[in-house]
Amino acid sequence: MLGALKLNPNLICMKGDVMQIADENYVKAYGESVLREKADRDYISARILYYYQLYENYIYFISQACEKYLKSILLLNVIKVKDIGHDLVKLKKRIEESVSRLPNILNVEQLVYFNKLNEMCMNRYDEVPSSLFEDEIKIYDGIIWSIRKYCRFIIFDKTEIDKNDNYVGNISIEEIIKFDNSKPMEYSIPNGFLEKIINVESFKNTKKYLVSNNDYYGNAEEKKDIFDPLIMNWNQPFHFRSNECLKVLSEYIKMPVAKKSKNNIQR
C-alpha cells in the first residue's frame, strides 16, 4: 500500500540522485494520502445515504469520516493510534494531549453532538437507540469541516518554512485559524479529494450530493437543496422489546448491555 502513496514534496529529501524518505514521513504520507482521502469518501457516502433517506447508515458513515480525519491528524503529527480503536472521544483526547499546539477543534455546540455521535457510532449491532433531527446534518457538516481543516501539513513555527527548501502547499496554524465558521467555503486543502469533487467536471454527478444544503463546501449558487425534509428519524433497538428478548439473543450473538445515553438530546 505504501508504494501507492502520493508523497507530498515536503516528505522527500535528496542525497545526491537518491530519493530518501524518513520513516516518520511514511506515517505522515499515510495520514494525508490514505486516511484523509478515505474520510472524504466516507463523508460523501454519508451525504448520498442521507439523500436516499438511509439515515442510520448516514450516521455510521459520518462517524467513520470523523474517525479517519482524527486519525489523519494524529498520524500527520507522527502519533500512534493503534491502541485507540474506534472511540472518537479518545481520539480527540489524544490530539489534545499530544498536539497541544492545535486550538480547540470543536465549539461547544459541536462537542455535544460529537459526543452523541460517538455513542451512536459504537452502535454496530443496534445496542442503543439512534436519532437524527432535521437540522443535525448542518451540525455534522460543521463538525466534519472543523476537524478536516487540520488534516494537512501544518507549520507551527514560521521559522520552519525557511529551513525547508521544498516548502509546497503547507500552511501555518495562524492561517488556518483565520478561516472561522463565517467563511468556511474559502478554505481548501491542496490535492484534497473533496476539492477535486467540487472542481473537476467529471465528478459533477457526485458534487451535487456534497454541496447541496451544505454551508461548508461549494459555492453559494450551487447549493440547491435536493434533500427531502427530515423532521425526525428514531431507531429503537430490537432487543429493547423485553429483557427476555435480550437474554435469548445473547445466546447467539454478543449483545453488550446498553447504558443510558448521557448525550440523548431531546427536542
Average pLDDT over residues 228-252: 80
Q: Is the pLDDT of residue 6 over 80?
A: no
What's the pTM value of the predicted model, to 2 decimals? 0.83
Q: What residues pair up with 233 in beta bridges, in sequence order? A: 132
Supply the pLDDT for residue 193: 95
Kindly list the domain boundaries of the chain, sorted by start residue.
Answer: 2-250
Looking at residue 132, the DSSP 8-state letter turns out to be E
Supply the pLDDT for residue 52: 93
Lowest mean pLDDT across 8-12, 22-26, 97-101? 8-12
Residue-wise pLDDT tens digits, 102-135: 888 999 999 999 999 998 887 667 777 788 888 8
The answer to whether residues 86 and 67 touch, using CB atoms and an 8 Å cutoff, is yes
Average pLDDT over residues 151-169: 62
Q: Is the pLDDT of residue 184 over 90?
A: no
Between residues 160 and 119, the one the model is more confident about:
119
Confidence of residue 14 (pLDDT cuts 50, 70, 90): very low
Cell output for 79:
502519533
Percent with pLDDT over 90 in the chain: 40
Q: Is the pLDDT of residue 64 over 60?
A: yes
Cβ burial, residue 6 (10 Å; 0-12/13-18/19+): exposed
Supply the pLDDT for residue 1: 38
Supply the pLDDT for residue 67: 96
Average pLDDT over residues 208-224: 83
Query: SS3 of 33, please?
Result: helix
Which DSSP helix (H) or strand (E) runs through 233? Answer: strand 232-235
Supply the pLDDT for residue 84: 85
Q: Interior CA angle at 64 toward 59 and 67, to 5°?
A: 125
| β-strands 171-172, 154-155 pairing | parallel
Residue-wise pLDDT tens digits, 38-60: 999 999 999 999 999 999 899 99
Confidence of residue 2 (pLDDT cuts 50, 70, 90): very low
What does the alpha-carbon distance between residue 251 and residue 110 come to, in Å, rounded to a whole number? 39
DSSP one-letter string for 190-246? TT-HHHHHHH-GGGHHHHHHHHTT-SSSS-GGG----SPP-SEEEE--GGGG-HHHH
Report helix angle 108-121 to 55-76, nearest 10.
Answer: 110
Confidence of residue 20 (pLDDT cuts 50, 70, 90): very low
The answer to whether residues 98 and 171 touch, using CB atoms and an 8 Å cutoff, is no
Closest alpha carbon to 212 in 225, 230, 199: 225
What does the alpha-carbon distance between residue 247 and residue 242 come to, in Å, rounded to a whole number? 9
Report the range out of 71-85, 137-151, 156-170 with the highest average pLDDT. 137-151
Supply the pLDDT for residue 181: 63
Average pLDDT over residues 246-256: 79
Confidence of residue 19 (pLDDT cuts 50, 70, 90): very low
Averaged pLDDT score across all residues of the chain:
81
Lowest mean pLDDT across 59-63, 112-116, 168-172? 168-172
Between residues 208 and 169, the one the model is more confident about:
208
The answer to whether residues 94 and 79 touch, using CB atoms and an 8 Å cutoff, is yes
